[in-house]
Amino acid sequence: MGKFCEVFGDHQLGELTVDNVMDFLNQITDGCKPQTKRIRYANLSAFFNFIQNNLDPDLSNPCDSPMLRKLFRPKAKVQWDILEKDTVDEIIFRTARLRDRMLLELMARGAMRIGEALKLTPNDIADHKLLLRKSKSGREFEIIFIPKKVADRLQEYVRSEKIGLNHRIFPICYEAARAVVRKAGNMVGIYLRPHDLRRHAATFASRAGVPIEIISKIILRHTNLSTTQIYLGNISDSEALK
């Protein structure tokens, strides 16, 4: 709004056209992410609505045009398919290669992002806790909690493979890891993405009665609770009854 006042401070609001507002929005959102563009458009539209509702009923909101709504429309909500526990169990246990199975378990049981799992070293393992360095949140490190049985299998895998303390446990690239996940899904006849396993971990915890605050801050390590709610999504009436 400060930039808006700088540009249009000597104008009457009623004189502003859709083209004026579009040029302004394009300037202040150049190079920004889509979410930032939507937020700035929404803020400006809310300003005009406030003036219209409280000060000048005859004012026309230039943001309320089909062209601008199309350019800065809200992101469509995505409804994720929910993976059932039996399906995830089958995916993991039908994966023959131990390395690949461990990678799948860390994502499905520990809610790890695929990039986090690929950076993991034996030095990062402390019983059923994993130390995540250079996390996505920008923190110096984060703690990931995994089930004790998964931690035992991970440590046994490290010992059997004689992996050095500072060496990566999964020395493969991101695309190769995605291929592992995709192949695992094909075995049970579904299209599987790495984040589907992370969402499953959150959904399974929610169904087990874990408070959403714990799911958000401890399991998924989200900054905002609203992000976690998107992950969990909605379930159908039949799924709720089940």
Q: What is the reported pLDDT for 227?
A: 72
- According to the CATH classification, is domain 85-241 in 1.10.443.10? yes
Distances in Å between the Cα of 178 and the Cα atoms of 41, 104, 115, 211, 238 are: 36, 10, 10, 30, 32
Report the predicted TM-score, pTM, of the whole model to 2 decimal places.
0.64
Q: Where in the chain is the domain with CATH 1.10.443.10?
A: 85-241
- Listing DSSP states for 170-214 in one string gives S---HHHHHHHHHHHHHHTTS---HHHHHHHHHHHHHHTT--HHH
Q: What is the reported pLDDT for 183?
A: 96
What is the distance, to the nearest Å, from the Cα of residue 148 to the centroid of all Cα atoms in its chain?
A: 26
Per-residue pLDDT of the chain (242 residues; tens, 9 = 90+): 889 999 998 888 888 999 999 999 999 998 888 888 888 998 999 999 898 888 888 888 998 888 888 888 766 555 567 788 999 999 999 999 999 999 999 999 999 999 999 999 999 999 889 998 876 666 778 899 999 999 999 999 999 999 999 999 999 999 999 999 999 999 999 999 998 999 899 888 888 888 888 988 888 888 777 777 766 655 555 655 55
Token pair 């995916």: residue? 91
Q: What is the reported pLDDT for 90?
A: 96
Q: What is the reported pLDDT for 236?
A: 54
Q: What is the reported pLDDT for 233?
A: 56
Question: Does an H or E element contain 140, and which?
Answer: none
Q: What is the reported pLDDT for 164?
A: 95
Q: What is the reported pLDDT for 242?
A: 58
Q: What is the reported pLDDT for 239?
A: 55
Token pair 């440590």: residue? 155
